[in-house]
Every structure is written in C-alpha cells, then in structure tokens.
Structure 1
Amino acid sequence: MTVAPGDDRDPPRVTAVGAAAVDEWYAVSNLPEPDGGAYASEVETAPGGVGANVAAGLDRLGREVGLVSRVGDDEYGDLARSWLAETGVDGSRVSVGDDPTTRSVILSAPDGERAIVTAGESFRELRLDPATLDSIVASEVVFLTAYTPDRVARAVLDRVLEMGEPDRPALVFDLSGPVEELAGRGTEPETVHGYLHRADLFVAGGVAAPAYFGGREAAVDRLRAVRDASVGPAVLTHGADGMTAIVDGEATRIDAFDVDVVDTTGAGDAFLAGLIDRWLLADGRAAGRGSAEERSRDALVDAVRFAAAVAAINCTERFTQTGLPTREEVESFLAARGVELR
C-alpha cells in the first residue's frame, strides 16, 4: 500500500528503519573455504532484510509496527512488498525506486551456520522526506540497524536529540556488520558513536562488536564505561555462546537456549524483536526508560531471556520470517524449560 506524503494517520507504536530484502537461500553441503566449493541440494527464495525481519518479529508478537524502507521497481521489489503485505506490518513508508532491490545470497550449511553476500542498491539509496522523518520520530520506539545509510541514521539521531523529554521516542540501535562491510553503504563510525552514547538501547552482534571495539572483552569494557544509568542498557550477542547484558555499568552473562538448529539466518533479528518487545513495550515506555529501578538488572536479564527464546525458536525453522514465533509460542517454550520471568 502506498500512502501520500501528506498522510496524517497516527504513527505506529514502533517504527523500524531497515531493508526489506529478498533472501536467495542455498542449502549447501558445506561453507566453502577460499578457493573451495560446495554443492547446493536445495535453492529457495524467502523474505529477509534486517528491518523487515525485526518488524515482522514484532508483528508476530502482537505489536503495532511500521517499516521505513526502499525497494526497486523490479521482480524482487514486487516480491518484498507482497510478502510484507501478508503481515500486519504497516508498509506505507516503503518507497519504490529505480535501483535494484536489495537481496542476499545465503549459504546455509547442515549445522545451521551460514555465509551471506548482499547486493542491490535500493535500500542504500533511501532518502527521508520531511513527512517520513516526522512519522518516524512520532513513534514510541524507533529501531535502526547499522546497515541504514548514514544520512538517514544521522537525520533520525539529530531530530530525536532536538526533541525534549518526554516527547522524544526511545531509540534502539543495532550495531550489525563489521566496519569494512558497512563502509560507503551503512552507518559511518562517527554516527555509530553518536548512537553508542545516545541510544536508549544499544545492541551489538558477535561479529560487529570486535570490529568496532577490538574484541569481545574490549567491547564489554567500553560499554560498561559508556552505558551508565543516564543512558540506558546495552546487549552483546555471542551466538550459541549466549549474551552479555550491561546495565548501570554492570555486565551479566546469560546463556543461550539449546535447540536443534535448522537455520541461524535472522536469529539476531528475531532476538532484537523479542528484546524491543520485552524491554521497551511490555509495560509502556517506562519499562526501558525512567528511574534506575525501572532499568534494573533483573528486568533487563528477563528481557534478554525472552529475546533469546524468540531467537532459539527461530533457529528451529528455515528462513527468518517463517520461523518467527507468536507470544504464546515463546511463553510455552519458556514454560517447558522451567524459566519464569518476573
């Protein structure tokens, strides 16, 4: 659905800024080494893109969410928009341009590990008109990934910083991708630095964090120093090795759930959806912002465990969006493992 820039509907509770992409999925015999090869026993096409994945994850959990993105005027763009239309995500701010739609080739090995190669300029060329920027910052929560073009990430950050409390939205930033992958394509280090010090929730993956901070332990130390009670928490994800939650300068390790992995593609995006849901939306904005008590270590650990359950369930199915669980499925998963959240 395309809505004119002057559309005055109420903004969704959450706005995700990120790619709505097409994943071309190859079930390979192995992830090839340099100069090596592999055989693909199956080839399928599925919806993807960090922004669309996080938005779809929140939608599956029953949240009102919209997506700001850009696709190409091609068959991949048609696919991306048709898949989005099958969800409850508001896609009225997904624009269409002349550049090829962003798409990824995903090599998925039998153990669930994968390698990803992304192409297509459509999301990289995203621009924000005034009406779209106004709509973004009018939401209660705004999510951005480091794959967001720098001019867009900077515009959102600058506008939010101009807004006074309590009018501004809560900012969630996902440090996804190493520096060399994002260069000239995504959010630049200077802007990442701004989100590091200003975002209400800062999340970094196991590949991206060492690239920016010089290693896992260095990332923990840096985030402990920066993410104090006046800023908000941070979470580092380490894949099967679990997560590190940092709140009020204290770091806590949390184990991942053990499941039979089918495909890890999009597990981080599923985790982000669960974390936003539990930390920032469960009891309104105050669940993740406000007094020190509301940002307590126990509350954050519970949010991370909930998010870890969302990601674990996602890993038991092929493709990201088809494996995203409902709230009832997450609650059943946790109950079966004797996990009680406060």
Structure 2
Amino acid sequence: MTRRVLAAGHVNWDVTLRVDALPDPDGEARIESQHTAGGGSAANVAASLVGHDVDASILGSVGDDENGLLVRRELAEVGVDTDRLRVVDDGETSVKYLVVAASGQVMVLGNDGANEAVHPDDVDAGTVADVDHVHLTSQRPETAARLARLAADVDATVSFDPGRRLDSRDFSATIERADVLFLNGREAASVLGSEYANAPPTRGGLVVVKHGARGATVHKSTGSYEHPGFDVDAVDTTGAGDAFAAGFLAVVLGDAGINADRIERALEYANACGALAATSEGARTAPTRPEVEAFLEQRY
C-alpha cells in the first residue's frame, strides 16, 4: 500500500550564499558561491518523501510572482502533488537568504511574503480526506491545530516539526495532538524540560530530538533509542533536518499508522538522510532511497 502524506507549512524560494565567514557588525564577507532553489520545511519534506517512494502532497501558499512559479514547477517536477498549494493573487513568495560560513554556521534572512496565507477557515475535512499522515511544520498556530484535529477525525497520524519559531508561538494544541514530535536539543529543553522520556506531551508519545552531527534520540514513555549519526564532510547543513524528518517518516509509517517496531531502523535511516543532505549545497538536497541504502551498505 502506498502511503499518502500531506506536508503543510512554509514554501519558500531560497537563495544560499556561501561566504568565507559570517561578518561582524559593520564587517564584510566574501561570497564564494550562490545557489537558488525551492525551500521551506514543508516543501523540503514533501520533495524528500517522494524520493523515498511516498505519495506526497503540499499545503501552503506562494505568490503569483516568478519565484512562486519556479517553486511550483520544481515541486511538480519531482512528483509532489501541488493541488493544495495556494497561489496568492498579487502576492510575493517568501524568499529566504541563507548565509552559510565555511565553519558551517548559518544566518537566515527573509520576508514572510505570502507564506502564511492559509488560515484555519481555508482547511476542512476534504483537505485531509485522502491522506494517511499529516506532517506539520511552522505556520499559523491556529491552522496547524485545526489540521491536527481534522487529521484525527479521519484517523490519519500526525507529525510536527515546529522549527525556529517555537519560542515565540503557542503550538501547544498541535503538540498535544501529534503522534511524532521533531525537535532539536534547544527546542526539546524548552518544551520538555530536562527529562525528555518522562510523559512525552504528544498523543503518540514519540519525541525525536535531532542533535545535528551527533545523531538523534527517540524518546518514548517506555524508553529511549539513540543513534550517534554518521561522520561526513559537511558542506551545508541547511535542510538536513527536513531530510532527517522525511527519512524517519518514510520508515516508521506503516499501513496502520506509526509502527513502533521500526523506530530503531527509522532512526538509523533518518540519520543517513541528514548526513547525506549535509554533503550538498542548498536546502533541497535530500537523498533518495537507493542513495541512502547504498550509503548504509558502505558503512556496515
């Protein structure tokens, strides 16, 4: 059975600038290379899922400008269903400027543009009627919460990766309804406190904490699983977290929802996805299933 996943949230156009070092205030840096491509966490995950043999669609919004056309064309070319991608008349597609230093440090500049034009009233039962899983990323908290409720009504599972805006937005209603919650170490400390494994706040009780190059940990109420990650020559870690999330979901999603027996395999596979993504420039660099399997075979 082909799993059907709806990714909802930000859809951007990314401009990645590689510099020799991030400049100090009033300083200057030398641009060593420039790369443009589609971005946004929801779009990145959707595109990556297709590469893992998952039927993926995107819910988000772009402007009717040239960047929006490029975003839609790029997603369609890789096989993402864009029927739910809203095009805002006279809107400006959100553009993110990702400044990446040789050390791996990243600075993000951007405008919101048409990024959050999807309101709670714009989604209904039909939005999630034909999907098995909904992956939520940063967006209007009210929209995310409504999508999580609608998914529960049709017995679709939910994952949530709130991203950088977690500290400034109230996503508690969505977190409570999530089967899988993706966080980095800082976000985990903010949401869960120091004892991650004690009563995870999600419906499914599954919290995945990403540690970057140091791998990741999955916490359940009954225990935790760890994987140290893979040592690679990282070029650009932008989008590696999205590649990780897509890889984890591609393995852990079974015909009847979240398959707890696949957690350890999902963790290993997801870390391989993140590592491979970090070896290429840009946010939309997720590896495909054959590439990940070849990578793992070489490692063992």
Q: Same fold (TM over 0.5)?
A: yes
**Aligned partners of 2:60 and 2:116 also within 8 Å:** no
- Pick closer, same or farther for the CA change 1:300–1:121 going to 2, 3 Å: same
Residue 238 (structure 2) pairs with residue 239 (structure 1): no
Secondary structure of 1:329's match?
Answer: helix
Shift of the alpha carbon at 1:275? 0.7
Q: Which residue of 1 aligns with 2:260?
A: 295
- Please tell me the residue identity of whatever aligns with 1:269: D
Trace 1:204-243 onto structure 2 (pairs within 5 A): 204-213=183-192, 218=194, 221-226=195-200, 231-243=204-216
**Aligned partners of 2:200 and 2:207 also within 8 Å:** no
Trace 1:255-334 onto structure 2 (pairs within 5 A): 255-280=228-253, 283-286=254-257, 288=258, 294-296=259-261, 299-321=262-284, 323-334=285-296
Q: Which residue of 1 aligns with 2:182?
A: 203
CA RMSD of aligned residues (A): 2.3
Match of 2:70 among 61, 79, 88: 79
Find the aligned partners of 2:251 and 2:125 in 1 and give their Cα distance: 26
Shift of the alpha carbon at 1:151? 2.3
**Aligned partners of 2:241 and 2:274 also within 8 Å:** yes
1:188-210 deviation line (CA, Å, top 9, x unaligned): 32xx2233332111111234334
- Please tell me the residue identity of whatever aligns with 1:318: E
Structure 1, unmatched stretches of 5+, are 1-10, 289-293
Find the aligned partners of 1:66 and 1:132 in 2 and give their Cα distance: 16
- Please tell me the residue identity of whatever aligns with 1:268: G
Secondary structure of 1:90's match?
Answer: coil
**Aligned partners of 2:3 and 2:255 also within 8 Å:** no
Give 1 or 2: higher strand fraction: 2
Relative to the length of structure 1, the TM-score reads 0.80
Residue 103 (structure 2) pairs with residue 116 (structure 1): no
Shift of the alpha carbon at 1:131? 6.5
- Pick closer, same or farther for the CA change 1:13–1:203 going to 2, 3 Å: same
Find the aligned partners of 2:179 and 2:217 in 1 and give their Cα distance: 17
Secondary structure of 1:275's match?
Answer: helix
**Aligned partners of 1:13 and 1:141 also within 8 Å:** yes
Structure 2, unmatched stretches of 5+, are none
- Pick closer, same or farther for the CA change 1:152–1:133 going to 2, 3 Å: farther
**Aligned partners of 1:74 and 1:101 also within 8 Å:** yes
Q: Which residue of 1 aligns with 2:40?
A: 49
Q: How many pairs are equivalent?
A: 298
Find the aligned partners of 2:25 and 2:123 in 1 and give their Cα distance: 47
Trace 1:87-126 onto structure 2 (pairs within 5 A): 87-97=78-88, 98-126=90-118
Find the aligned partners of 1:105 and 1:130 in 2 and give their Cα distance: 29
Residue 141 (structure 2) pairs with residue 154 (structure 1): no
**Aligned partners of 2:183 and 2:210 also within 8 Å:** yes
Find the aligned partners of 2:180 and 2:59 in 1 and give their Cα distance: 19
